[in-house]
Structure 1
Amino acid sequence: MTASLVLGPMLRYVDETSAALWVETSEACTVELRAGPDAWTASTFGAHGHHYALVEAAGLPPGTTLEYTVTIDGERCWPEPDSPFPAPSIRTLHPERRLRLAFGSCRTSVPHDTMGNATHGVDALRAYAMHRAHTDDDDARPDLVAFLGDQVYADSTSKEMKEFISSRRSLHEPPGEELKDYEEYAHLYKLAWSDPANRWLLSTLPSAMIFDDHDIRDDWNASLSWRKKMHGTTWWHGRIVAGLASYWVYQHLGNLSSAARTEDPLWQKIASHHGPEELDLTADLDSFAERADADPLSYRWSYCRDIGDARIITVDSRAARVLEPARRSLLDETELTWLDEHFRGGVRHLLIATSLPFLLPRGLHHIESWDEALAEGAWGRLGSRMGEVLRQGLDLEHWGAFQRSFRAVAALACEVADGKRGPAPQTVTFLSGDVHFSYIAEVNRSSGSRILQAVCSPIRNPLPRALRFATVVMSYGVASPLGALVARSARVPKPPFSWTSIKGPWFDNNLALLEDTDSGLQLRWATGVVNGNPDSPELQEVARHTIAPRRAGAPRKEPV
């Protein structure tokens, strides 16, 4: 049987001289990437009956755009014949080019027709793909698209996903309409990434990803009580193993640089295989995922990289949690130590990408800190039970609900901003998603670097209109002083600093675009609109704001 392309190609990690290209194929095969006169190949590896390859291209010229083709066993498969989109290309980084970054989170996999748009809105990523396909401005091309959580929804499935599940098992058996195993995850990723416009976009823009709860399940690792409840089911073990295993294959592997991949035990297994038969990674992959869940210290999902004169630290805020009440923390000690090592100045902009907003609207932050104290016994046993019910029922498990971690990272941010960890950058900016509304907030400071929070959520999964009003009420206005009052009633210390919303909220499906300019860090949010034809959404700007630096000059860059 002749192998064909199932998913991809997806352009993943790209630097000044190398690029990684990920594909899923229908059969075991050899995949070739050709750019200009050069070509690179990789054999597929197997997992649960699926076949994947990551082709590593090296020796590319810096700051260059190269069109490419992909072949499978010598037969060209990409670009597809008669494709309406421009030729796919790789643009390598240039050391003097300033950062351009797109980011966002929360994207559901429903059809892009009139019905899908009516229930979930226009996919902002797809609208951006159509925009990029019709512009020749290569200078406006992002260096990276950062997907900050909920790339797929394993617990809230579409009609198409339910139909696939019901073809394999009864929807009346646990876990019902939610995902159960690797095969179902593989199909969910196919639904998420096979739309022609998005597929073309992801074949030509490098991407980086980090999970959030819905990639696994709502409230994933919210508390020890939540975890015990999941472990009491008949299906959770299979779900978490499949979720982490498929995440490594579909998302995490492409996050890594070539040097970081050589240190990954699963990649070492793939790279060292030279036999005539395809490597079946299934057993090793499942054992790895099982171990990563049981012992979070055994693997790090966070990663760090520099692009130009900016550093991007992508932080795992889900799997690295410590849930025992006496040690409750969003980051375990090993993860916090790693973050401490990378949380340094000496760059123009320090960006911390974390799925959960570090700076929630202050009213919501106070409510979450109060609820954590309540659940830990500040108001006795009855209050503790009530706090846990509220935590899971209202999703009160962001950074504000992990005060030890919040204060530790706040201290790191202030030290960098004050120049105590190398030359102070222009900004220390947290990039996040999750909350299904977008905004910009800033720490109230009169000197040093500006400390900011920029949120873009959702890409495609808007809040119902009734919940939008409730969100605003809980987050803004009188919620802030009232939240502070209830937090003090539970003896929660005041935050180490105050912050203010400087733009937002807005609730559109959005993709955010960040650019380092002479005027400062420019942030834009864009949404998709349909004027008659759902196949041709247009991109429309929702908001724009420029963060001017407090002091001029680009500080010296220090190595990671």
Structure 2
Amino acid sequence: MSITPITGPILFLDEITETSCEIAALFIAPEGVTVPDIYGGDTAIKAAPLAHFAKAVVWRARFGLPLGSRSGYDWNGTRYPVSCEYSDAPRIGYVSCNGEEIGDLLREGSERNAMWARLREDHRARPFVLLLHGGDQVYADEVTDGHALTERWPEEVPEDPSEPELAGLRDHLKEAFFERYSTLYAAPEFAWIAARVPSLMQWDDHDICDGWGSLPATKTHSAIGQTLFSAARESFLIFQQAAADGDLPRRFSDPLGQHLGWRVETGGLRIIAPDLRSERSRRAIMGQGGWAMMEEEAARKMRGHTFLMSSVPLLGPRLSVLEALMVLTPSMQKYEDDLRDQWQSRAHRAEWQRMLRLARSMVLEDGHRLTVLSGEIHLATRGRIDFAAGRSLQQLVASGIAHRAPPRAWANLLGALAWLGEAPLEGHPIRIAPPPGQARRYVAQRNYLRLEGREKTWSASWEFEESGPTEPLAL
């Protein structure tokens, strides 16, 4: 058996066909080291280089496993079981916010990855078929450190940098993103489950930089801002999709990647993940491509259950009060971008209503249910809007898997704002409620979410770091 320090395999779901789960396995190997073949049965699947870095190469192997089975693959002397039983009581995990803004790579591993260890044991008890990652898979805020052009990003953005300077910045950012992804993916708690459960990932701002898209256009549209976005996007495709431009899996809505929204469907299950970052600006959450994708999905006839991933919560309290306070209070203005990131921001109200109307049209379709999955806020909660004929839209928020919980005072403030009420669609107020068994609307504990299907119905339960699992919530 090889003892060469190769990171991987990290599994990603490319698509689900009528007969198979198509999977991409990602590896990170030192320069000059060849990744051993994967064996699916007696067939050898060779990995090929996907991206090159200063001292390492990222490799990818693509293979299929039979849909409706518990099978697996062999690699480097180890058997890795994988469940593809989507029609027989499938379990799906949902996580978000895998890190922190400052010093994340310096944290002690067992503390940082405690909830990943718990998720690993959860899988051992009863296998998951899929892991959904709802945003902020890495916290890249520090990738701009150590280079003269970005040392004080975004407060200071040098004007008119030369092409050689920008080329140097691109190289710096490429290696800085590599360091973060390779470190996180080598963590034993994450690596164990990632080799046995395929992932699907949706990005959010920290996968680029804090507040990307909600920062002023003079910063994001600058040569430095676009260089940062380009490096983050390339890294996102490599490390979160096992893909590259011109080689996107067929689940992506736009093969050219102008936006990076995707969907998968099998039987009575559909998962939709619009891209809320690629086309974002201070005045828009999605652009033409993202909205075209959502209009198409809303019009698609579907029976069963749809999970709509929204990296920032779609249902939330009235934030205009906080926004007004921040504008009037100089010491709080630095947090304005955090609120501008949300659907509930005054700047995005028309888009928010548009998305909720699309969600309502899906909820009212006969034989179909819709649940929104969100993260981002480092708290757990749930929300609901009731529509006609006893139909409702539910939202589940699970955040974060590694980010430590904020002060309970912040959770209490959001709970108080929720008490004020909000109804972006007239006559249909949003109701924010505690997860089952919890006393407060917003729970300040690290957490992840389980989604469990049985006999064409789904339920959800949270796993909290301190208080443990909740009772199942019918969806």
2:118 counterpart of 1:132:
no
2:87 counterpart of 1:104:
no
Distance change in 2, residues 1:149/1:39 (3 Å): same
CA distance in 2, matches of 1:433, 1:252: 19
The Cα of 1:103 is off from its aligned counterpart by: 0.4
2:227 counterpart of 1:228:
no
The Cα of 1:26 is off from its aligned counterpart by: 1.7
The answer to whether the Cα contact below 8 Å between 1:154 and 1:215 also exists between their aligned partners in 2 is yes
* TM score, norm. by length of structure 2: 0.80
- The residue that corresponds to 1:123 in the other structure is 114
2:85 counterpart of 1:148:
no
- The residue that corresponds to 1:206 in the other structure is 198
CA distance in 1, matches of 2:306, 2:150: 48
The Cα of 1:303 is off from its aligned counterpart by: 0.1
CA distance in 1, matches of 2:48, 2:3: 12
**Counterpart pick for 1:507 among 444, 469, 473:** 444
Distance change in 2, residues 1:171/1:413 (3 Å): closer
2:1 counterpart of 1:62:
no
> How many corresponding residue pairs?
438
CA deviation map 1:313-349 (0-9, x unaligned):
01111222244xxxx3211122111111012442211
- The residue that corresponds to 1:44 in the other structure is 49
Distance change in 2, residues 1:214/1:46 (3 Å): closer
**Counterpart pick for 1:341 among 296, 305, 308:** 296
CA distance in 2, matches of 1:399, 1:354: 10
- The residue that corresponds to 1:543 in the other structure is 470
CA distance in 1, matches of 2:141, 2:195: 27
CA deviation map 1:428-466 (0-9, x unaligned):
11101001111111113352532011000011112332x
Distance change in 2, residues 1:345/1:508 (3 Å): farther
CA distance in 1, matches of 2:133, 2:416: 30
The residue type equivalent to 2:237 in the other structure is W
CA distance in 2, matches of 1:245, 1:259: 18
The Cα of 1:524 is off from its aligned counterpart by: 1.1
Distance change in 2, residues 1:472/1:129 (3 Å): same
The residue type equivalent to 2:402 in the other structure is R
- The residue that corresponds to 2:40 in the other structure is 35
- The residue that corresponds to 1:251 in the other structure is 240
CA deviation map 1:388-433 (0-9, x unaligned):
93763653421112112111111111112222xxx341x2111010
The answer to whether the Cα contact below 8 Å between 2:131 and 2:200 also exists between their aligned partners in 1 is yes
The residue type equivalent to 1:337 in the other structure is A
Give the RMSD, CA atoms, in angstroms. 3.7
The answer to whether the Cα contact below 8 Å between 1:6 and 1:24 also exists between their aligned partners in 2 is yes
**DSSP-derived class of the 1:476 partner:** helix
Question: Which protein is bigger by CA-based radius of gyration?
Answer: 1
Distance change in 2, residues 1:254/1:238 (3 Å): closer
The answer to whether the Cα contact below 8 Å between 1:127 and 1:527 also exists between their aligned partners in 2 is no
CA distance in 2, matches of 1:264, 1:3: 38
Distance change in 2, residues 1:202/1:130 (3 Å): same
Distance change in 2, residues 1:99/1:411 (3 Å): farther
**Counterpart pick for 1:498 among 429, 432, 446:** 429
The answer to whether the Cα contact below 8 Å between 1:100 and 1:513 also exists between their aligned partners in 2 is yes
The answer to whether the Cα contact below 8 Å between 2:258 and 2:289 also exists between their aligned partners in 1 is no
The Cα of 1:193 is off from its aligned counterpart by: 1.3
2:355 counterpart of 1:409:
yes
- The residue that corresponds to 1:397 in the other structure is 341
The Cα of 1:494 is off from its aligned counterpart by: 6.2
The Cα of 1:110 is off from its aligned counterpart by: 4.6
CA distance in 2, matches of 1:337, 1:185: 31
CA distance in 2, matches of 1:453, 1:349: 13
CA distance in 1, matches of 2:392, 2:91: 19
The answer to whether the Cα contact below 8 Å between 2:248 and 2:255 also exists between their aligned partners in 1 is no
**Counterpart pick for 2:409 among 461, 464, 469:** 469
The Cα of 1:352 is off from its aligned counterpart by: 0.5
CA distance in 2, matches of 1:112, 1:67: 33
The residue type equivalent to 2:192 in the other structure is W
**1:16-31 matches, cutoff 5 A:** 16-17=19-20, 18-27=22-31, 29=34, 31=36
Structure 1 unpaired stretches of 5+: 71-75, 80-86, 266-297, 376-381, 485-491, 530-539, 549-560
**DSSP-derived class of the 2:132 partner:** strand
- The residue that corresponds to 1:526 in the other structure is 463
CA distance in 1, matches of 2:379, 2:473: 19
Distance change in 2, residues 1:248/1:451 (3 Å): same
**DSSP-derived class of the 1:477 partner:** helix
Structure 2 unpaired stretches of 5+: 155-168, 435-440
**1:35-434 matches, cutoff 5 A:** 35-49=40-54, 50-58=56-64, 60-70=65-75, 76=76, 79=78, 87-94=79-86, 96-108=87-99, 109-110=104-105, 113=108, 117=111, 123-133=114-124, 135=125, 140-155=126-141, 173-174=151-152, 181-223=173-215, 225=216, 227-231=217-221, 235-253=224-242, 258-260=249-251, 264=255, 299-323=258-282, 328-343=283-298, 344-360=300-316, 362-364=317-319, 366-367=320-321, 389=333, 392=336, 394-401=338-345, 402-419=348-365, 423-425=366-368, 427-434=369-376
Structure 1 stretch displaced more, 255-264 or 199-208: 255-264
**1:425-444 matches, cutoff 5 A:** 425=368, 427-444=369-386
Distance change in 2, residues 1:202/1:112 (3 Å): farther
The Cα of 1:7 is off from its aligned counterpart by: 2.3
The answer to whether the Cα contact below 8 Å between 1:31 and 1:43 also exists between their aligned partners in 2 is no
**DSSP-derived class of the 1:340 partner:** helix
CA distance in 1, matches of 2:362, 2:253: 31
**DSSP-derived class of the 1:411 partner:** helix
Distance change in 2, residues 1:397/1:367 (3 Å): farther
Distance change in 2, residues 1:497/1:304 (3 Å): same
The residue type equivalent to 1:471 in the other structure is A
CA distance in 1, matches of 2:52, 2:427: 47
The residue type equivalent to 1:354 in the other structure is S
Distance change in 2, residues 1:386/1:306 (3 Å): farther
CA distance in 2, matches of 1:342, 1:54: 30
CA deviation map 1:267-290 (0-9, x unaligned):
xxxxxxxxxxxxxxxxxxxxxxxx
CA distance in 1, matches of 2:95, 2:63: 27
The Cα of 1:505 is off from its aligned counterpart by: 1.8
CA distance in 1, matches of 2:337, 2:74: 49
* TM score, norm. by length of structure 1: 0.69
**DSSP-derived class of the 1:242 partner:** helix
The answer to whether the Cα contact below 8 Å between 1:31 and 1:53 also exists between their aligned partners in 2 is no
**DSSP-derived class of the 2:470 partner:** strand
The answer to whether the Cα contact below 8 Å between 2:411 and 2:442 also exists between their aligned partners in 1 is no
The Cα of 1:43 is off from its aligned counterpart by: 2.1
